[in-house]
Chain A
Amino acid sequence: MSENKPLSEQRCCWGYGEEPLIHCLYQETGANMKESMPSALAFILLFLNISLLNGQSPPGKPEIYKCRSPDKETFTCWWNPGTDGGLPTNYSLTYSKEGEKTTHECPDYETSGPNSCFFSKQYTSIWKIYVITVIATNQMGSSASDPLYVDVTYIVEPEPPRNLTLEVKQLKDKKTYLWIKWSPPTITDVKTGWFTMEYEIRLKSEEADEWEVHFTGQQTHFKVFDLYPGQKYIVQTRCKPDHGYWSRWGQENSIEIPNVPGPKIKGFDTHLLEKGKSEELLTALGCQDFPPTSDSEDLLVEFLEVDDNEDVQLMPSHSKEYPGQGVKPTHLDPDNDSGHGSYDSHSLLSEKCEEPQVYPPAFHIPEILEKPENPEANIPPTQDARSSTPYFHADVSKWSTWPLLPSQHMTRSPYHSIADVCKLAGGPVDTLASFLDKAGKNVLKFSKTLETEEEKVAEQEKKKSFHSETKQNTSWPLLQKNAPIVYAKPPDYVEIHKVNKDGVLSLFPKQKENDQVEKPGVPETSKEYTKVSGVMDDNILVLVPDSRAENTALFAESAKKVPPSLEQNQSAKDLASFAATSNNCRLQLGRLDYLDPTCFTHSFH
């Protein structure tokens, strides 16, 4: 009889019950001594079968799943028990060290909790491999885990650093920074050089979602610059030995960056610019009531403003996108120095481009913005003779207002189209003056700020041209299309005189209400001021000066309030636009088109 034959194959063992098998076995054992071994084996197997039927078995194989050292001087290993076979099971951990033939048992099963073994200092060596095995034993048998090879140097996972302190400090130049300091975790011996620790910190503002992580090497301090004042920041640290695991992130600490009163330039926070929220930006600038509410539309009627003084003013144009719609009572603070900055167009512009044509992609707002002080001030003032042209310096696509030229008095509308302002930025006065003289076909545009809806198309066009940050080199489509824009000039208003048979709107300068010194060259006689050269986008008239009025009379005229006459004229409401720039202008100034209002001013005197 083969020893390996299953019991069921024994002669008389057909049944599955216990009795018949036992009977068979007895019979077998009684029969022949030589056959006792297989019988014994069968008996053992029977016994095991019985146990299985009872649900008892030797333990399953345990598994050592983790060994860690917090300080490179002690370590702990933990194991998973595996099945216990339904019987009380004992676990024992044995180990041997590299180079030693002897096997030892775990010195401490308690300290690190259940199913663990703790090796204290005297049992821990580094630079030696430990071979560790766990054996599970129960009544039925035992089972050994796979051996684990452990080098204590590589299983170090420290506690997180402690004593995290935060402090806001200042450099000599008033720049503030966050000074972060911490200490290594207590149980690691860093002082003697036994332990080399590396650190990381992470911080974020309270509302932010993502952490900013910085590796700090072996130093236990760090400086963080460029944090936003008024915000609360949360900081955490963690550490890692040179060959080991990162600790968990330590206790959080938070601090609020105090608001540092900065210089009172009425500029704006570049962060606002980045956010692209023009409302905030304008609020920062001190513009009140901006954008204008709907009821302001009444006030928006006259948008060409009369300006007593000789400053050249820009014609603001508005678009829906520009918060500056318009016009509402924003008051300019004549004494406000904001925006005075460096009006030197050369410096700004030349930074970006070599030609004076620069249209720097970024608005340099602080230097130019001002609040309008007069609700009706739609025309941006020109600057004083001494200041140079305004320019922008901002990310145009995000910016919806534009700088104004500062001026001592007046109404200024802070909202021009970028085009307008761009137009202001300009080349030398002489150049402008000269081409103005040459201006054959001058198209002057007065865009109606108020009629924002209608304007928007024009504005959008203008704006589109600015949306790209690389706009510097593209000529403005507006200009290309003889599109309207800006520009500066004496605050002349025109009124629609009549519509002649050709469908041409004749516009005449409105007579000044008070006897002002008339600008030189203002023709007293009325003249067909402009002639419609085309219609753009259904609601914008492009007007060109009539041949009779070709010369610089355009500039020479003083603009007056348009209101009543324009109001009366429905068609007039549809924006009478004059594009002021001539092709000559464009050429002379390079690729970008803008006019220096000062040149106009000069040319008038």
Chain B
Amino acid sequence: MQAHLNQPCSWMLQLLLVSNLLLWEYVVSLPLCLEIEGSNELTIEELFDDAIGMAQYTSNLTTQISEEFDENFAKSLGYKARNSSTCHTASLLTPENNEQIQQTQLDDLLKGMISISRAWYHPLEKLVHEVAALNGASETMLLKVKEVEEKNQELLKKIKEILVRVHPGAEENVYPAWMGLAEVRSANEDTRHFALSNIFRCLHSDTDKVATYLEIVKCRVIHNNNC
């Protein structure tokens, strides 16, 4: 009898422990500075390093999420073959090769990053729910998605600060809304899986893009293109 009574409690405790362990496993000791009013105290270099660390961490997580999802739910390569799979951030027209990037202004790069980050703000909230409801998704995947959601919000703040330092008074650009929720919630399992596979792939590309842009901006601003 007692075993029964204790079961939910112990189960919850175990879940708590496991989730803590998993979280710790993926937490990198980033030099995170507290978000205080006077963030001006951080040097621009420190701001960059913080942001880059966070962006790379997030990018790693999204790689893992995308791979794990494809492995477990979308093995057939046919999913990727469909040409209709575009990312909702494609309309931002951010530069996608080195030449184009070198020709883009610093401001535009920073604004582009902010737009990307904002464009994922709400989708990530939705994704957390969807993954939680996904049959067969592992605990770790859910935790990773939650972590990406959090880090994306923090990264957004950091990049905004950098923009303020680099170009005080700059205005942000608009950002695209995500219209893919319907597909992700489709009654058809294949449609759902395809939509999720697509969105995780887009998420991964975009986080990698932000990490790369940050490094390029840092080299330009701090080291004058001589990293």
Contact = CB atoms under 8 A, between A and B. Distances in A.
A72 interface: yes
Contacts of B86: 98-99
A125 B201 contact: no
B35 interface: no
B227 A190 contact: yes
A185 B131 CA distance: 42
Given A99-B90, A242-B56, A129 B201 contact: yes
A96 interface: yes
Contacts of B219: 191-193
Interface stretch (B39-47, B92-100, B171-179): B92-100
Interface in B128-152: none
Nearest to A98: B85
A304 to B, nearest CB: 68
Nearest to B216: A193
A119 to B, nearest CB: 11
A153 interface: yes
Contacts of B80: 129, 131, 149
Contacts, number: 71
Contacts of A242: 56
Contacts of A147: 77, 81
Interface in B187-227: 201, 205-206, 208-209, 212, 215-220, 225-227
Contacts of A73: 97-99
Interface of A: 72-73, 96, 98-101, 121, 124-129, 131, 146-147, 149, 151, 153, 189-194, 196, 242-243
Contact of A192 (B83, B85, B208, B216): B216
29 contacts: A72-B98, A73-B99, A98-B86, A99-B83, A99-B85, A99-B86, A100-B83, A101-B83, A121-B98, A121-B99, A125-B96, A126-B97, A127-B96, A131-B81, A147-B81, A191-B219, A191-B226, A192-B98, A192-B219, A192-B220, A192-B225, A192-B227, A193-B217, A193-B218, A193-B219, A194-B98, A194-B215, A196-B215, A242-B56
Contacts of A149: 77, 80
B23 interface: no
B119 interface: no
Contacts of B215: 193-194, 196
B225 A191 contact: yes
A121 B103 CA distance: 14
Interface residues of B, number: 31
B102 interface: yes
* Most B-side CB within 10 Å, residue of A101, A128, A194, A196: A194
Given A98-B85, A189-B98, 18 more contacts: A73-B98, A98-B86, A101-B83, A121-B97, A121-B99, A124-B97, A125-B96, A126-B96, A127-B96, A127-B206, A129-B80, A131-B80, A153-B208, A191-B219, A192-B219, A192-B227, A193-B212, A193-B220
Q: Ordered nearest first, which 10 A-B pairs have the shortest CB separation?
A: A193-B219, A99-B86, A193-B215, A193-B216, A127-B205, A125-B96, A194-B98, A101-B83, A192-B225, A149-B80
Nearest to A147: B81
Contacts of B83: 96, 98-101
Chain B facing A: main interface SS: helix
B98 to A, nearest CB: 5
Contacts of A131: 80-81
A384 B55 CA distance: 70
A495 to B, nearest CB: 77
Contact of B227 (A98, A151, A191): A191
B69 to A, nearest CB: 15
B188 to A, nearest CB: 22
Contact of B101 (A121, A146, A190, A194): A194
B156 interface: no
Contacts of B74: none
B212 A194 contact: yes
A75 B218 CA distance: 26
Contacts of A129: 80, 201
B81 A194 contact: no
Contacts of B101: 194
Contacts of A191: 219, 225-227
Contacts of B56: 242
B162 interface: no
B97 A125 contact: yes
Contacts of B98: 72-73, 121, 189, 192, 194
Nearest to B226: A191
A221 to B, nearest CB: 15
Contacts of B201: 129
A194 B216 contact: yes
A311 to B, nearest CB: 62
Contacts of B220: 192-193
Interface string B9-43: 00000000000000000000000000000000000
A129 B219 CA distance: 27
Interface string B45-57: 0000000000010
A33 B215 CA distance: 74
Most interface-central of A73, A121, A146, A193 (chain B CB within 10 A): A193
A248 B80 CA distance: 32
A64 B80 CA distance: 17
A160 B22 CA distance: 37
A190 B212 CA distance: 12
A101 B212 CA distance: 27
A70 to B, nearest CB: 13
Contacts of B63: 243
Among A98, A100, A151, A242, which residue has the most Cβ atoms of chain B within 10 A?
Answer: A98
Interface string B110-133: 000000000000000000000000
B127 to A, nearest CB: 19
A127 B208 contact: yes
A191 B98 CA distance: 12
A190 B209 CA distance: 16
A128 B204 CA distance: 11
Contacts of B99: 73, 121
B49 to A, nearest CB: 12
Contacts of B87: 99
A146 B97 CA distance: 27
Contacts of B205: 127-128, 151
A356 B177 CA distance: 80
A109 to B, nearest CB: 22
Contacts of B212: 193-194
A192 B85 CA distance: 31
